Chains A and B, each alone.
Chain A
């Protein structure tokens, strides 16, 4: 009697089926198809790089197309850029197709295009570095006595982070070792907003006690007393971008529930200007790189102010309900200023300003013009994409959310907009024309915040359902699920160098996630 081998378990069967399917999909491109004509268009501007070029179908994979395009663009060998290619349909209602590996499998085989047609490909330059998806909890640090309401990484590196909490303190954390560095005590009520200055030397905190406080980021000491002036709590903070700062005299804008925005001179601790005009609580303030301050308010309007003299430039009113959040296309460039992925810091002040300015201009230049786009999220379930320098009319209305949209963010390369809503979904939109791209489904509770990685390939979202989820922007799928928080996650931030994700919420513990 020989032993009978038990039948394969369900798991083994599934694995075998999966393997068979994967193996089947790896096919070669037929070599007898000849060549196809391809024309490249810039995704950001919509302009063609030149006339169509003929490409052999057998060799038309992403890598070769990238090389071809780099040559067409005249990029030197040391500044070759990876590109992402998409095909836009001829009909307006069709779906855009992402070229995943080569033209044959994405376009020709499904019959979208034939070799007779001229294929128009839109390209988006991608970051030359890659951020790995965070996948594990590196540290869970207790310390705060109440829920954590805001977090922010230092623009310098991923090793320090600041968090504001309901126990009326802000804390600075050493994320490399997972230990607390400093406790910033001084506020008498919840700390609602925290912001690092663009050079990473100072931290500003805004609180429920109507004051703003400034701290030395290195030593963790208070820089002077509270900045008093607001009559109600602080909702949002924005630093003056590094390249427009008067040397050594940075300014800080604080938005408050009392419907004003105050601009503080950080050195003399005085109010520089007061921007009044909103009729409701100001929910969000953003300081643009071209000397404009953008504010969103509960009175349904977005106002744009001149930061030099504090005059109102424009009022954008299209929303039908309170505006919750704003994002600028240049947010990331302004936040990190002269710090980049190489980690090299210019030595002199003038070089730093020049680097920050170059960074901003690179990010903002579209068609040789400096354009700062703005996207606003509202309680009316919609978002609007604006190009305020061109017109007071919105570029696009972003429809799709089924509940209030709480948070919106531009990807660092400005190609995408991600929005988090109370309808449990994160949605992804095209940053150029506001077209809907995809929905990230998976959260089972309201999504509070989301944040792109520095290379714009990944997105992390925090939710009421106690999880963080990392999404792959390109495939529109869940990349990593990060359970671990005991309760709602209020705040999440991805460090500008892409190493770590920091999150905090109602369970009072800061969690650091890394790959």
Chain B
């Protein structure tokens, strides 16, 4: 490999050969011949390397030719800037259709009765009380009757919750398993947004779990969609909307849900 720009240095000091330009021109003129000769006559590893190099060059060449052709063609009609028609004053604006500002096209389409109760996960495995609760038997009195339970699954606890005195606290919901936010996917738009959970509406396994706010797969939760900017037909901002949990939160360490629209 050449060290430093010794050729340029030499040329600066001594000038070029008198026939330099002539030689360059001739070399360029014979480039095609040389390429052809090499392609036909090289063998072994050199041939392989040569073909690789030539392949890459050809790709570049084709790209350039295509770009040139496109430049020359006069296109008939300009493409519409977006799929959905927009009025003149909304064209040329960077669309605010990012995930946060979903259009109000997202509407309650649950006009039919049947669809109203249809959820993405119609059947889920039941969870027994043995699996859900761990008996707490610390302390003398508690140990005797074993009436205290700890919930072993993730829960949602509202922010206005205060613990009862230890003596009356029948269920413990561990801090580490509490969730406040859910990753909610809009099924039609395919966007996912992290939204605050408002409440647990229905845990299909057991009404008690609903009361306790247990988050298991298939649970219906209410999420705060105000930042999505959804509007009802009467022009009010939609605030809470229901979603169904689609993953097993205790396995994943997060709550994923799908919006019920």
Contacts and interface: CB of A to CB of B under 8 A. Distances in A.
Interface string A407-444: 10000000000000000000000000000000000011
B70 interface: no
A495 interface: no
A210 B78 contact: yes
Given A210-B78, A465-B104, A190 B231 contact: no
A296 B86 CA distance: 20
Interface residues of B, number: 24
Interface stretch (B20-28, B58-66, B203-211, B234-242): B234-242
Contacts of A467: 234-235
Contacts of A485: 233
A488 B89 CA distance: 14
A485 B86 CA distance: 17
B183 interface: no
A484 B91 CA distance: 25
5 contacts: A147-B85, A149-B86, A445-B229, A466-B232, A506-B105
Given A233-B78, A486-B107, A491 B87 contact: yes
A382 B237 CA distance: 27
A186 interface: no
A481 B89 contact: no
Nearest to B236: A444
A189 B79 CA distance: 9
Interface extent on A, as a size class? Answer: 35 or more
B95 interface: no
Q: Chain A interface secondary structure, helix, strand, loop or mixed? A: loop
B89 A465 contact: no
Contacts of B236: 444
Interface string A171-204: 0000000000000000011101100000000000
Contacts of A235: 88, 91
A209 interface: yes
Interface of B: 77-78, 80, 84-92, 103-105, 107, 229, 231-237
B77 A192 contact: no
B72 to A, nearest CB: 17
A463 B236 CA distance: 12
A208 interface: yes
A146 interface: yes
Given A448-B87, A488-B104, A210 B234 contact: no
A147 to B, nearest CB: 5
Contacts of B229: 445
A295 interface: no
A485 B105 CA distance: 11
A361 interface: no
A406 B77 contact: no
Contact of B87 (A149, A189, A257): A149
A484 B80 contact: no
Interface in A212-264: 232-233, 235-236, 257
Given A445-B104, A488-B103, A483 B233 contact: yes
A300 interface: no
* Residue picked from A149, A236, A465, most chain B C-beta under 10 Å: A465
Contacts of B235: 443-445, 463, 465-467, 481, 483
Contacts of B105: 487, 506
Task: With a 10 A CB-CB cut-off, give which of B103, B107, B233 has the most chain A CB atoms.
Answer: B233
Contacts of B107: 486-487
